[in-house]
Amino acid sequence: MLLLAACPFVLKAQPAGASGSWELVFEDQFTGSALDASKWSKGYPWGDGTTHNHEAYCIPENVTVENGLLRIKAVSEKHPASPEGYNWTSGVVSTSGKFHVSAGFIEGRFKAPATLGTWPAFWTLGDGWPPEIDILEIPHARNVHHYYYHYGPSWDQEQSFGGTHTGVDKSAGFHTYGVEWDTNYMHFYFDGQLVASYNNRPEVAQAVNQYILINLAVGGWAGAPPAGAQFPCYFECDWVRVWKRKPGIASGEYRISPAHASNQAVEMANHGTENGTNVATWSYWGGPNQRWNVNDLGGGYYSIRPVNAPAQSMDIAGQSTENGANVASWSYWGGNNQQFELVANGNGYVIKPRNSGRCLDVSGASTQNGANIIQWACNGGANQRFIMTRLGDLKSASLSEELLLEVSATSDDLQVSPNPVTGDALRLKIMLPSTSELVLQIYNLQGQLMKALNKGRFEQGGLNLEANVGDLAPGTYVITLEAEGLLKRAVFVKK
């Protein structure tokens, strides 16, 4: 069972232990001398609000706010209005009708009572039962708390998963307890550390429109308090917070450009499609090796897979967690080194491999073509921030001729003319930095090699060439010129 409070103007930006970007949507730090009635109600939100599946009769007087704490008191007494068998009084608060949440992260900081036979709880319910999320329940030993999720089509077909955490005495001081969930996963936390993770669980999608409860039960599952048990006793809450995950990017096809060199794009080097193909930067021209299918895996993580090699995935080589590890492609298998967190940052995103928590980085903050993408300790640099431009289901026909010609005109001093070309001859002009063998290759926009031309050995200096493109069908193409220490590209249109 659980308690929760809300405040739209919050100080804590991120839930401890959780990945991704979050927005605080609800908070109560229990300042002042009274319960905030805009966030909470006293009593259970059913019947007359006084009873549940335990032996304490819940009354408003047993719920107080003082010294920055919510305090729920259990007393060994029979209330005049209580039914037979209810030999204690206690209290409960809920956010029913005032705050509900369908996915997110709920966390509270609590100190349990030491008295055995009491059963403090921090939990959620919806419009019916199940579902129910039990974030914190301590029915027996004070060093063991339970966390569970109950689900099913009806009360008589209820199922559950969860477990227990054994550790410190949770009545000796304050500790935080949290749950994070979305449509297909649920994670439980204690003191900011993940203690249980349930993934690929579609039944979690049932946990919508949940409100929060905090209560102190007596008896029931906890058993009767032993003779001489200490009463009154208190279940204390320092604060309750709820976060919603900030909207991430939608799954789809993207251009990924480094913020410090936004005219470039992250690409599969040399149109590679094989395991180990280097991931690097190059002047953007829109080819399939510069387009990436970004797929939301849930839990704040994404796969990033090249359009020109859909069976491949961006991959941290060797599953390394060290600075400088290379980013290349590998057959997709879904490992943590192929899952990436996209954290909104300014006008772009920081891309963090799940296996390392480091940041993708344009090596040396280079702005030159062919700069490697590596992982490095996150430092906030522009070379660790990437602009994600949604392309949709981009087809070659949708690449504007004007854009491609503009790219070609600035393609690192490889000049092509005429462009568009209507005849057989495409003229190329380039400055060779050294004497070397020269190879020309022509690709279509699907990354297929259409022609390879070995033009022989040429001396250092200015060079004018012609390439025969008469046998190419009308369309848009990429021509690459490769020499020793040199790789240049340009885009041309064949009419």
pLDDT at 342 over 50: yes
Angle at 457 between CA 455 and CA 462, to 5 degrees: 90
Q: What is the pLDDT of residue 17?
A: 66
Tens digit of pLDDT for each residue in 70-120?
A: 999 999 999 999 999 999 999 999 999 999 999 899 999 999 999 999 999
Instruction: List the one residue out of 220, 330, 191, 336 whose CA is nearest residue 274.
Output: 330
- Token pair 């819940």 is found at 58
Report field, pTM of the whole predicted structure over 0.85:
no
Strands 56-58 and 63-66 turn out to be unpaired
Residues with Cβ < 8 Å from 397, sequence gap 6 or more? none
Instruction: List the one residue out of 236, 265, 257, 35 whose CA is nearest residue 138.
Output: 236
Angle at 267 between CA 263 and CA 270, to 5 degrees: 115
Q: What is the pLDDT of residue 344?
A: 78
Structural domains of the chain sorted by starting position, each given as residue range(s) with its CATH number in brackets: 22-245 (2.60.120.200), 252-390 (2.80.10.50), 399-494 (2.60.40.1930)
| pLDDT band per the 50, 70, 90 thresholds, residue 222 | very high
Q: Contact, 487 vs 278, CB < 8 A? A: no
Tens digit of pLDDT for each residue in 409-455?
A: 334 467 888 888 888 888 888 877 777 777 778 877 766 778 877 66
pLDDT at 399 over 50: no
